[in-house]
RNA sequence: GCGCCUGUAGCUCAACCGGAUAGAGCGACGGACUUCGAAUCCGUAGGCUGGGGGUUCAAAUCCCUUCAGGCGCGCCA
């Protein structure tokens, strides 16, 4: 990466300093810039501009065509075209920021009590892309889905199903307080009734298995597959819940109050202590959750990432304090909050509520909108940003839809290459790189070279949307190039060079879309 | 009351650890297909970055304050 190379050069001059390399704003001379002169000038109480000039005069490298100093004290680097061309046509470089670290990313983990909703779909898109992104940047990635099959929710589910069976038998259904009302429960009840299952425990097991299978199927259709599906019950079976409890007691980190057992999370920075065993002797979610993370850590992961919805925000601290309490470093676990999704149709918001039974599920959405479009749309915002999913725009198969815009650029390139081949134009192998010198060509070259840098930024920030934005930009640059310059032209050598350039563009788009989990058709 | 997120062009959003004249898309207006895919491109208009203070050579970005919206805050998960 050019950015990294510049960084290294400056780092040698200023070993103590943190080097920052920025892109130069449009219309400004140069490609990259650094603010190092500001810092040095401030430290040595020297005039900034002169300091910048002095520093600039000390930098020499073959890849740098020229260095200029601007206004307060920016140092701008212009990279030589020949260097960029050499670079852009060489093998794509490996990016290794993970250094083989084993990282687990847990996401979706929707309760097996109903279909996957659109909020979870966003988590699925983000988590899956993040997994691909981290793999690409040198991490050893494991993806995991945690199935909450313990707890009270699953009992309520079983009871709700049983009531629906009563209803099917001509009696009135009395859905329990906090139970599940959705129509999907009726479908499930029909199945359970047909199988003649009556025992409540068996209904529960059947219902949970039913939803797990359902989730697996629908996520697969969405292009998301997990390495592991871990059930809460398996954590109990391994005895980890008891282990955690014992460990906490040994460390004197629990106490009894009002008949309940509390964990002293305040010792680790929580706002208040938390209950882990209720006065009627049930575990709260926190205890098995800590145990589950103990399990994750026992499996030798260097880092853990969880992707949660905003409604779980309050639990972050408790869980982090909890795993600190059992002796793991605090920064082992990072929890990313992915904000909610609002479904929009004809400018109107559609409210989602599981309880009321009017859910917009991923399954329903995929019936109307292609997988690629759904994924792309869900990856267009930073995690912390709430997202409006515009159904009308998503259904639009034309100019407004950014997915097609990007895919179209790729298809267009493939079409040109095909055309060239039909005309018997050979390309591949060596060619005169220096024929590429038009403004639009160079802009395209720079955009392609930026790709690994974007990958790095996206991976470091855990933000796949950065890549989404980049791909739109790259497509735009290509379309613009296409409009101005002909790839297939009278000049055989130039045609050869341009074919190689657009082919590189297509490879980059394909690679980027691949990380987003979006297909990249050759024709559309 | 407390915690987290958000407030940028008419709309939806960018702006990487604080950097240069705050950028795109949509919408509006005006142009470009005898030629490699017009699902495209080019141009014009549109901004006191919610308000007010502060820190800094430099603030949309950091701090304080205020206003507005969203989501949480259980011996539920």
A477 CB contact with strand B at below 7 Å: no
Q: What CA–CA distance (Å, rounded) separates A106 from A110?
A: 11
pLDDT per position as a tens digit, A100-120: 999 999 999 998 988 898 889
Considering only A15-19, A72-76, A236-240, A498-502, which range has the smallest mean pLDDT? A15-19
- What is the reported pLDDT for A226? 96
Q: What's the CA–C1' distance between A317 and B67, in Å?
A: 29
Q: Measured in angstroms, what separates residue A42's CA from nucleotide B62's C1'?
A: 19
- Rounded CA–C1' distance between A21 and B4, in angstroms: 32
The pTM for the full model equals 0.93
Residue A523 beta carbon within 7 A of nucleic strand B: yes
For the segment 390-449 of chain A, residues whose CB is within 7 A of strand B: 397-400, 402, 404-405, 408, 411-412, 414-416, 419
Please give the nucleotide, over all strands, whose C1' is closest to the CA of residue A412.
B37
For the cut 80, the answer to whether the pLDDT of residue A364 exceeds it is yes
ipTM of the complex in this document: 0.94
Cβ-based neighbours of A39, under 8 Å, separated by 6 or more = A17
Edge-first strand order for the sheet with A341-345 is A348-350, A341-345, A387-390
Exposure letters A280-304 (e unless 16+ CB within 10 A, then b): eeebbbbbbbbbbbbbbbeeebebb
CA of A387 to C1' of B71 (A): 13
Q: Are A120 and A80 in contact (CB under 8 A)?
A: no
Buried b (16+ CB within 10 A) or exposed e, A372-390: bbbbbbbbbbbbeeebebb
Q: Calculate the alpha carbon distances from A68 to A50, A118, A206 in Å.
A: 12, 50, 70
3-state secondary structure of A102: strand
List all residues 6 or more positions away from A120 whose beta carbon is below 8 Å from its beta carbon. Answer: A108, A110, A309, A362
Q: Are A334 and A130 a contacting pair, CB within 8 Å? A: no
pLDDT (tens digit per residue) in A402-434: 889 999 999 999 999 999 999 988 787 788 899
Q: What is the pLDDT of residue A398?
A: 55
> Does residue A171 contact residue A220 with C-beta atoms inside 8 Å?
no
Q: Are the C-beta atoms of residues A161 and A123 closer than 8 Å to each other?
A: no
The whole-angstrom separation of Cα A81 and Cα A65 is 8
Measure, in angstroms, how far nucleotide B9 C1' is from residue A407 CA: 28
Reported as a single tens digit per residue, the pLDDT across A124-149 is: 999 999 999 999 999 999 999 999 99
Does residue A70 lie within 7 Å of nucleic acid chain B, judged by its CB? Answer: yes
CB of A151 within 7 Å of some strand B atom: yes
Residue A102 has φ and ψ, to the nearest 5°, of -90, 120
Is residue A227 a contact partner of residue A144, using CB atoms and an 8 Å limit?
yes
Closest alpha carbon to A381 in A363, A399, A402:
A402
* CA-to-CA separations, A482 to A81, A426, A478, A479, in angstroms, rounded: 20, 20, 6, 5
Strand B positions within 7 A of protein Cβ atoms = 2-6, 12-17, 19-21, 23-27, 35-42, 57-58, 70-77
Distance (Å) of CA A514 to CA A227, A378, A508 = 18, 15, 10
Q: How far is the CA of A34 from the C1' of B18 (A)?
A: 13
Q: Considering all nucleic acid strands, name the nucleotide whose C1' atom is nearest to the C-alpha of residue A522.
A: B37
Q: Å from A466 (CA) to B14 (C1')?
A: 10
Q: Does the pLDDT value for residue A58 go beyond 90?
A: yes
- What pLDDT score does A352 carry? 40
């Amino acid at each position: 990466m050019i950015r990294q190379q510049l960084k290294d050069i400056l780092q040698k001059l200023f070993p103590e300093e943190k080097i920052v390399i920025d892109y130069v704003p449009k219309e400004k001379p140069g490609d990259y810039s650094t603010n190092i002169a500001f810092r040095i000038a401030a430290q040595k109480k020297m005039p900034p501009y002169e300091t910048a000039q002095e520093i600039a005069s000390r930098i020499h490298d073959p890849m740098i065509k020229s260095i200029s100093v601007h206004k307060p004290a920016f140092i701008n680097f212009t990279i030589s075209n020949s260097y960029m061309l050499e670079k852009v046509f060489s093998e794509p470089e490996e990016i290794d920021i993970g250094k083989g670290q084993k990282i687990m990313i847990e996401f979706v983990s929707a309760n097996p009590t109903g279909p996957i909703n659109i909020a979870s779909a966003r988590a699925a898109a983000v988590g899956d892309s993040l997994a691909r992104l981290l793999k690409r940047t040198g991490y050893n990635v494991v993806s995991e889905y945690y199935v909450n099959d313990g707890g009270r929710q699953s009992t309520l589910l079983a009871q709700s199903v049983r009531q629906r069976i009563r209803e099917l038998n001509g009696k009135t259904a009395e859905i329990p307080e906090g139970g599940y009302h959705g129509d999907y429960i009726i479908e499930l009840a029909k199945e359970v009734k047909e199988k003649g299952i009556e025992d409540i425990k068996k209904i529960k097991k059947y219902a949970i298995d039913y939803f797990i299978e359902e989730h697996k199927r629908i996520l697969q259709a969405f292009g998301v597959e997990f390495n592991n599906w871990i059930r809460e019950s398996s954590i109990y079976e391994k005895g980890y819940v008891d282990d955690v409890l014992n460990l906490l007691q040994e460390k004197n980190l629990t106490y009894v109050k009002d008949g309940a057992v509390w964990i002293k999370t305040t010792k680790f920075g929580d706002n208040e202590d938390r209950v882990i065993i209720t006065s009627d002797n049930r575990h709260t979610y926190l205890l098995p959750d800590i145990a589950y993370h103990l399990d994750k850590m026992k499996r030798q992961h260097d880092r853990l990432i969880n992707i949660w919805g905003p409604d779980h925000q309050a639990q972050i601290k408790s869980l982090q304090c909890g795993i600190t309490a059992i002796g793991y470093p605090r920064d082992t676990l990072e929890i990313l909050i992915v904000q909610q999704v609002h479904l929009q149709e004809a400018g109107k918001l559609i409210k989602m509520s599981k309880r009321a039974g009017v859910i917009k599920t991923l399954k329903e959405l995929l019936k109307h909108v292609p997988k690629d479009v759904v994924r792309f749309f869900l990856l267009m915002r930073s995690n912390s940003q709430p997202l409006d999913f515009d159904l009308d725009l998503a259904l639009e198969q034309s100019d407004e839809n950014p997915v097609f815009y990007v895919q179209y650029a790729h298809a267009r390139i493939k079409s040109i290459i095909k055309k060239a081949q039909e005309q018997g134009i050979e390309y591949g192998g060596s060619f005169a790189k220096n024929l590429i010198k038009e403004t639009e060509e160079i802009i395209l070259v720079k955009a392609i070279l930026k790709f690994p840098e974007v990958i790095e930024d996206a991976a470091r920030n855990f933000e796949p949307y950065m890549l989404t934005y980049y791909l739109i930009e790259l497509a735009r640059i290509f379309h613009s190039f296409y409009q101005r310059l002909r790839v297939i032209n009278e000049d055989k050598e130039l045609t050869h060079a341009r074919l190689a350039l657009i082919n590189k563009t297509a490879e980059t788009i394909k690679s980027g879309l691949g990380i987003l989990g979006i297909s990249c058709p050759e024709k559309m």
